């Protein structure tokens, strides 16, 4: 494993050093006891079966039982310690990875698919945990076993040991070569798994669209195609990894054949006793299993290296939106929000161009224009989801980048067209982000204000009803009213309504609009409008086209002087 990865992993291993020390001591004892079992073959044959020593007939069986008992105890102790360390490391790495990813800016999530991120957090860390808690400890334990068994081998006959163990270096070259191939295959395997997770996530999240367009067969074929690709990679991995066993067996068979011939020759000459030869042979045979385990461990480590590199690579990513060193707390808006010559690009495409605008505190301002005109992007700059390329955004003459992000966003409420509700109770969805500061009376108060209390009471468990994934058990209007209740409870000074009623039918829109009117009172409100009927009485309407502000004014003024606004208005009302 590369030194850089070892150093990164050691940061997580360090708090559990005492467990690793205990595990290492247990490994040494297990290795020594395994070698002792091989050594006991010599006195069993020489003293019991050949010399017929009655005292040894009693002592040696007892010794064998005690050795195996101790070996079992220390094997269990080593396994428990390494499993404890491995599980805790997995827990911490997975938490740190999720914490790092969730702290990144929205531009990161624009580039990575949800399914791929899920694969990184779940599949990659699972592979790493398997290697850290099982593969590496087993390889270390077997290494100690190899060392002690080699001691037994050399104690019996140095010349025979030197000739017999020459097969081990011969096996190293093909194992290294196979390991490098496994690393490449492992990288492809994890990349394909991420794509499969993406397909699954999209299919389950978009099941209504799939059903509506009857594309179940198409989605199944897409999944099958990727699954087939994953199958081929897996089979290639199996072909490479499984060749280790027959290769080792063949090398072992060559060694065994030579051992029988040369060992028999030494016994005939009287250079070594029968018991000594069988003790030597037992130790040599017992070397096969640990050496094979070490070889397999090497292959597994090569496979997991790409996963570890992806995990730590993700952890090393920097957020593009960060707090300044001496960031100040935002305590509320008094004068207003000012955009000065603001430019913003998304993946080298200029989305906003030369935006200059002032929004007085407490005012309601609507934004209209065709899709892709930059309205929602402009709203995303206010809570600083993205940082601008050029220009400045000021809150009360202070650059928005000078404010602490948490304090800034706590004063901003957002209700969008696509309301997201968590798979949790109604109450917890309304209280989301309040850190336990809201009580049940507050929840009911804001629910009534959002015209949500009546339908919530009719749910099976009322406010304790679990809504299911994204709240699909509710209608669009009901989801919006819960979102409005959530915003009311947050009590933000600045409110962004991003096409909040665009996807609702007329009756739902009427109820939601009443709730929104209550939410708007006394707040600086920015409305991205899809339906002109909702903003005809708004004092200031900003008209946007191709990332620029075309004009500003009230409805009557814009109808008179702005051709583009007049065109949009007539298209919607079919005048």
Identical fold, 3-190+241-315 and 421-491: no
d(CA 105, CA 98): 13
315 contacts 96 by C-beta, under 8 angstroms: yes
Instruction: Confirm if 476 and 446 have CB atoms less than 8 A apart.
Output: no
pTM of the full predicted structure?
A: 0.74
Q: What is the pLDDT of residue 248?
A: 66
Q: Which CATH number fits domain 3-190+241-315: 3.40.50.2300, 1.20.1560.10, 3.40.50.720, 3.40.50.2000?
A: 1.20.1560.10
pLDDT computed for residue 175 by the predictor = 62
SS3 541: strand
Q: DSSP per residue over 452-512, as a string?
A: -HHHHHTSTTGGG-B--GGGTTS-HHHHHHHHHHHHHHH--SEEEEESTTTT--HHHHHHH
Q: Which residues contact 385 (CB under 8 A, 6 or more apart)?
A: 105, 106, 321
Residue closest to 33 by CA, chosen among 77, 64, 76: 64
pLDDT for 503 equals 58
Q: What gap in Å lies between CA 143 and CA 26, rounded to an integer?
A: 13
Between CA 551 and CA 326 the distance in angstroms is: 38
CB 258 within 8 A of CB 165: no
C-alpha–C-alpha distance, residues 9 and 309, integer Å: 11
pLDDT at 4: 81
Measured torsion, CA atoms of residues 177, 180, 184, 186, in degrees rounded to the nearest 10: 110
Given this structure, which CATH class describes domain 421-491? alpha beta
pLDDT of res. 167? 59
Domain ranges of the chain: 3-190+241-315, 421-491
Residue 112: both structure tokens together: 């990575």
Tens of each residue's pLDDT in the chain, 575 residues: 677 888 888 888 889 889 888 988 998 998 889 888 888 888 887 777 777 888 888 888 899 899 999 999 998 998 898 888 888 888 899 889 888 888 888 888 888 877 778 888 888 888 887 788 778 888 888 888 888 888 887 887 777 777 666 656 665 566 666 666 766 777 777 778 777 877 777 777 666 567 666 777 888 888 888 888 888 887 887 777 777 667 766 766 676 677 777 777 777 777 777 777 777 777 777 777 787 777 777 777 877 888 888 888 888 888 888 898 889 999 889 999 999 999 999 877 899 999 999 999 989 999 998 888 899 899 999 999 999 999 999 999 899 999 999 899 889 988 887 778 887 888 988 888 887 777 898 889 888 888 888 889 998 899 999 887 667 778 878 888 888 888 888 888 998 888 766 656 666 667 777 777 777 888 899 988 877 877 888 889 999 999 999 999 999 999 999 999 899 888 876 65
């Amino acid at each position: 494993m590369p030194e850089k990865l070892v150093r990164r992993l050691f940061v997580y291993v360090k708090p559990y050093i005492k467990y690793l020390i205990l595990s290492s001591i247990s490994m040494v004892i297990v290795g020594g006891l395994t070698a002792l079992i091989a050594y006991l073959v010599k006195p069993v044959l020489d003293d019991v079966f050949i010399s017929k020593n009655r005292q040894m007939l009693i002592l040696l069986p007892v010794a064998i039982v005690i050795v195996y008992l101790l070996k079992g105890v220390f094997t269990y102790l080593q396994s428990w310690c390494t499993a404890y360390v491995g599980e805790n490391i997995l827990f911490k790495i997975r938490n740190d990875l999720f914490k790092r990813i969730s702290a990144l800016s929205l531009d990161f999530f624009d580039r990575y698919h949800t399914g791929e991120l899920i694969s990184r957090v779940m599949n990659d860390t699972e592979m790493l945990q398997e290697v850290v808690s099982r593969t590496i400890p087993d390889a270390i334990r077997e290494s100690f076993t190899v060392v002690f068994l080699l001691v037994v081998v050399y104690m019996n006959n140095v010349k025979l040991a030197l000739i017999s163990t020459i097969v081990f270096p011969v096996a190293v070259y093909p194992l290294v070569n196979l390991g490098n191939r496994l690393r490449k295959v492992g990288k492809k395997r994890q990349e394909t798994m991420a794509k499969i997770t993406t397909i699954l996530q999209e299919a389950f999240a978009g099941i209504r669209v799939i059903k509506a367009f009857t594309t179940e067969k198409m989605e199944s074929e897409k999944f099958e195609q990727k699954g087939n690709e994953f199958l081929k990679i897996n089979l290639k991995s199996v072909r490479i990894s499984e060749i280790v066993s027959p290769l080792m067996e063949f090398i072992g068979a060559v060694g065994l054949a030579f051992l029988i011939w040369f060992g028999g020759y030494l016994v005939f000459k009287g250079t070594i006793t029968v018991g000594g030869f069988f003790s030597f042979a037992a130790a040599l045979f017992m070397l096969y299993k640990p050496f094979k385990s070490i070889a397999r461990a090497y292959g597994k480590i090569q496979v997991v290296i790409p996963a570890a590199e992806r995990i730590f690579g993700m952890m090393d990513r920097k957020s593009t939106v960060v707090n300044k060193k001496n960031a100040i707390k935002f305590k509320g808006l008094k004068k207003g929000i000012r955009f000065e010559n603001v430019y913003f690009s998304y993946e080298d495409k200029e989305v906003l161009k030369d935006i200059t605008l002032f929004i007085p505190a407490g005012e309601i301002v609507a934004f209209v224009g065709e899709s892709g005109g930059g309205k929602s992007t402009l709203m995303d700059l206010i809570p600083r989801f993205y940082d601008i390329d050029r220009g400045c955004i000021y809150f009360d003459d202070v650059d928005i980048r000078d404010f602490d992000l948490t304090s800034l966003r706590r004063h901003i409420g957002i209700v969008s067209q696509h309301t997201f509700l968590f798979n949790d109770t109604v109450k917890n969805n309304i209280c989301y982000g309040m850190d336990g500061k809201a009580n049940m009376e507050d929840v009911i108060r804001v629910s009534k204000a959002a015209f949500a209390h009546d339908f919530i009471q009719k749910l099976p468990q009322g406010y304790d009803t679990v809504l299911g994934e994204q709240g699909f058990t509710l209608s669009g209007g009901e989801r919006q009213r819960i979102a409005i209740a959530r915003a009311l409870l947050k009590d933000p000074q600045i409110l962004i309504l991003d096409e909040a009623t665009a996807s609702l039918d007329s009756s739902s829109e009427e109820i939601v609009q009443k709730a929104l009117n209550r939410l708007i009172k006394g707040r600086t409100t920015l409305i991205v409008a899809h339906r002109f009927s909702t903003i005809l009485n708004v004092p200031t309407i900003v008209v946007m086209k191709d990332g620029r502000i075309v004009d500003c004014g009230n409805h009557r003024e814009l109808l008179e002087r702005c051709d583009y606004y007049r065109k949009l208005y007539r298209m919607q009302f079919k005048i």
